[in-house]
Amino acid sequence: MKPWIVDRMEEGWAVCEKPDGSMTTLALSQLPAGVREGDCLVQKDGEWRIDPEQTKQRRKQIAGRFRALFGASPDAGRRN
């Protein structure tokens, strides 16, 4: 199952990219606590859930692209 990706959050809404590349909004109240930009979401049993493995893979892939372009990780020096 291809995930929806949280592109950004605005005033109680998450703007998400659907698997077909189109964009849509979901109310943050529908999403799991702690959802962040870049998280991969899947719907299971009628609930949205963060898919930690797909999110991790996607973040790793993006970091690799960033390094290839600029020579450093986008999170370099960033603390959680």
Q: Tokens standing for 68? A: 């290839």
> What domain range includes position 16?
4-69
Answer yes or no: are the C-beta atoms of 28 and 12 closer than 8 Å.
yes
Does the pLDDT of residue 80 top 90, yes or no?
no
Is residue 74 a part of any domain in this protein?
A: no
The verdict on pTM exceeding 0.75 is: yes
Is residue 80 a part of any domain in this protein?
A: no
Q: How many domains are contained in the chain? A: 1
Does the pLDDT of residue 18 top 80, yes or no?
yes
Is residue 75 a part of any domain in this protein?
A: no
Is residue 76 a part of any domain in this protein?
A: no
Q: Tokens standing for 41? A: 């979401």
Burial of 69 (0-12, 13-18, 19+ CB in 10 A): exposed
pLDDT at residue 71, rounded to an integer: 81
CA–CA distance, 33 with 30 (Å, rounded to integer): 9
Helix (H, G, I), strand (E, B) or coil at 38: coil
Strand bridging mode 23-27 / 40-44: unpaired
